[in-house]
Structure 1
Amino acid sequence: MKYIVSLTFLVFIKCVNITNIEAYRQNGKFVYRGNISYSDESLLLYELSPTITEISLRYCASECYKDLDCNAVEICSSVAGTICRLSKSISTSLVNGPNTCTRHEMEHTCGSVSYYNRRRKICQCVSECDCSTATPSVGGVLSYKLNLYGRVILANCMNTGGHVWTMIQRRVDGSVNFFRGWAEYKSGFGDLNTEFWIGLDNIRFLVTNGFTVLRVELKYGAESVYAEYSCFYIAGEDDNYRIHVSGYSGTAGDGISCTTDHCNNDAQFSTFDNDNDSEGSANHAQRWLGAWWYHDGHRSNLNGEYGNNNHGKGISWFYFKGWSTSLTGSRMMIRRI
């Protein structure tokens, strides 16, 4: 019991500090990035009056540092005189040769496709970087190429529950076999247009980069419900991707972080060829025809066999339709806080 309590506390801390803010250098130093056209206003916050005497990089940087939305400055020449412009990172229109503005960006370690959001204290995508920059219609889904800190992940972005989410699992029609081994569950499989599992390694990468809110949407015929968790985390492969969720809200009932028998919280992931459940005499992935976070049973089994209504072997969420009704659809999605 002591082990479980300490593990839960540790994971909770990781959910709170998941972005590792201290790793992102942001100390007020401005680095010259190149020259830009005076007409490039795509990231402009505002200009400081050209009537101010002694416009300099030092003065401009000082004004930028006062504004939490500012990450870059441009010193520009105009007919009226020198102008200081405050901007966000990153410029997409750097030019060579004769110019009217020199651009200086606040130093950070967020990578070339991100900037340091000083207001939220996280690395922020500029464009086409993660689902936060996608614009699916309400209820709509867009396939997207996530580019997070140099790692590219193909995923679906969905607009639901008032946010845009990154989808990590989907079941809709039984067209993809989910009774697979460890290697495939680690790397991912399926078709973004129908059914897929994004991969445990990708889920681990996302949660360690701040995607720690989980939403599960379930369907049975025309009925639909959801479960949302304010803290979601999985460990690395050395701990068999052990899951922790907390902060339940929704209409589906708590099928993971519940505390009754057979709940899934703090369980390691199991497949038919890698048995990590808490019962030594049986492989629950084999028993329940799926791959999931099993203890000595389950209250949810979203990777079970599509359409199988035998006890516990189908796509089940106990608090929605019990163990003997295989659901017709499921989606698992995550986002940043």
Structure 2
Amino acid sequence: ENNATRAEIIGTHKPKGKLYTICISPYADCSMIYNRRKVSSGFYRIKPQSIAEPFLVYCDMSDGTGWTVIQRRTNGKVKFDRNWSDYKNGFGHFKKKNDEFWLGNEYIHSLLLNDANLMQIDLTDWKDKTAYAIYENVKVADEKDNYRLQFGIYSGTAGDALSGGGNVEEQWSVSHNGMQFSTADQDHDRYLHGNCAKENKGGWWFNRCHAANLNGKYYRSGSYTGKNDNGLIWFTWHGWWYSLKSSSIKVRQQAFLDDLGSGNGRLL
């Protein structure tokens, strides 16, 4: 459903008695939608420049900017142990606010072509406590480079798990910065003795293997045991053996355009 075409009607023009409908292509992302229309959170179609057809996304407008949500886990109803094609094209449900989904690496790449983007990760544990992590200068490469993830400065309350935490030795083996995307059927991690995606039950930007994995197996409690630390993991908040209740990953441009679209808006 996330690649159906729809033009947005913005008005009508009536020269010499003839009525014409004026249409434009959908906006490039949710921040652009919010900046132009000040709408509420919900599902909208967007069209980044590199994508041929508009596609459906969930826009989080709750903080007065406009985030494009690329991942959500809430209840374990959607299987995230998927192959390369599924992660490339996207999967899950796009109907209700709390539906689970992965937007699709092709679409994520189209939103994060350059490094002038923010990514915010919102987490909830089983006591309904929340934490967040924000990364600046986020970029995801194309399929030729296996959707390699790159990011800059961290801020937030959840800890910098994507960089591997504070231990330099651990960062070498579990930092996700510069890692390519892996799935069970396409192994691009740095683990020489196995496949991190296969062991951890979901596609992700694995190293050897992870300090964060929000596409892992959904456990219906916090602490868990098993052969592998394969839950919904954010190591710097709850460690490797605590699986989170929910997660959301959302992105937007760092430069929030002014109402005229001049690019002179504030940097957030």
* TM-score bracket for the superposition, by shorter chain length: 0.7 to 0.9
- Determine whether 1:225 maps to 2:131: yes
Give the Cα–Cα distance (whole angstroms) in 2 for the partners of residues 126 and 234 of structure 1: 16
Cα distance between partner residues in 2 of 1:231 and 1:127? 18
Match of 1:293, SS state, is coil
Larger relative contact order (Cα-Cα within 8 Å, sequence gap ≥ 6): 2
Contact 1:128–1:147 (CA under 8 A) maintained in structure 2: no
Question: Is the CA contact 1:315–1:326 (under 8 Å) kept in the aligned structure 2?
Answer: yes
**What is the aligned length?**
225
The alignment partner of 1:163 has SS state of coil
Residues 117-169 of structure 1 deviation map (CA, whole Å, 9 limit, x = unaligned): xxxxxxx77999745446455xxx41112244453111111134553201000
Q: Which secondary structure does the structure 1 equivalent of 2:54 belong to? A: strand
Q: Over residues 251-301 of structure 1, what are the superposed CA-to-partner deviations in whole Å (9 max), with x where a residue is unaligned?
A: 010111346241111110000000000122210101111210011110000
The 1:132/1:195 distance shift into structure 2, 3 A limit, reads farther
* CA contact 2:71–2:103 (8 Å) conserved in 1: yes
State the partner residue of 1:143.
Answer: 43
CA distance in structure 1 between the partners assigned to 2:199 and 2:12 by the alignment: 57
Equivalent residues of 2:162, 2:176 under 8 A apart: yes
Query: Are positions 1:155 and 2:64 aligned together?
Result: no
- The 1:283–1:155 alpha-carbon spacing in structure 2 relative to 1, beyond 3 Å, is same
Which residue number in structure 2 is paired with residue 289 of structure 1?
Answer: 201
Secondary structure at the counterpart of residue 296 of structure 1: coil
- 1:93 to partner: Cα distance: 3.5
Please give the secondary structure, in 2, of the residue aligned with 1:202: helix
Which of 61, 70, 79 is 1:168 aligned to?
A: 70
Identity rate, percent: 33
Are 2:213 and 1:213 aligned? Answer: no
The amino acid of 1:230's aligned partner reads E
Q: In the alignment, which residue of structure 1 is the partner of 2:262?
A: none
TM-score, length-scaled by structure 2:
0.75
1:128 and 1:250 mapped to 2: Cα distance? 21
Normalising by the residue count of structure 1, what TM-score does the alignment of the two structures yield? 0.61
User: What amino acid is the match of 1:317?
Assistant: W
Which structure has greater strand proportion?
1
1:205-238 CA-to-partner distances (Å, cap 9, x unmatched) read 1112787210000000310000001111011111
* Alignment match, 1:188: 90
Range with greater deviation from structure 2 (141-150 or 275-284) = 141-150
Cα–Cα, structure 1 residues 229 and 127, in superposed 2: closer, same or farther, change >3 Å? Answer: closer
What's 2:79 paired with? 177
Please list every run of 5 or more consecutive structure 2 residues that lacks an aligned counterpart in the other structure.
1-8, 255-268
Say yes or no: does 1:252 pair with 2:158. Answer: yes
Secondary structure of 2:70's aligned partner: strand
What residue is the counterpart of 2:6 in the other structure?
A: none
Report the Cα distance in structure 2 between the residues aligned to 1:252 and 1:271, rounded to whole angstroms.
26
Q: Which moved more, 1:311-320 or 1:142-151?
A: 142-151
The match for 1:19 is: none
Contact 2:138 2:152 in 1 (8 A): yes
SS in 1 for 2:174: coil
Unaligned 5+ segments in structure 1 are 1-89, 100-110, 115-123
Asked whether the 8 Å contact 1:132–1:165 carries over to 2, the reply is no
The aligned residue for residue 260 of structure 2 is: none
Deviating runs (4+, > 6 A) in structure 1? 124-129
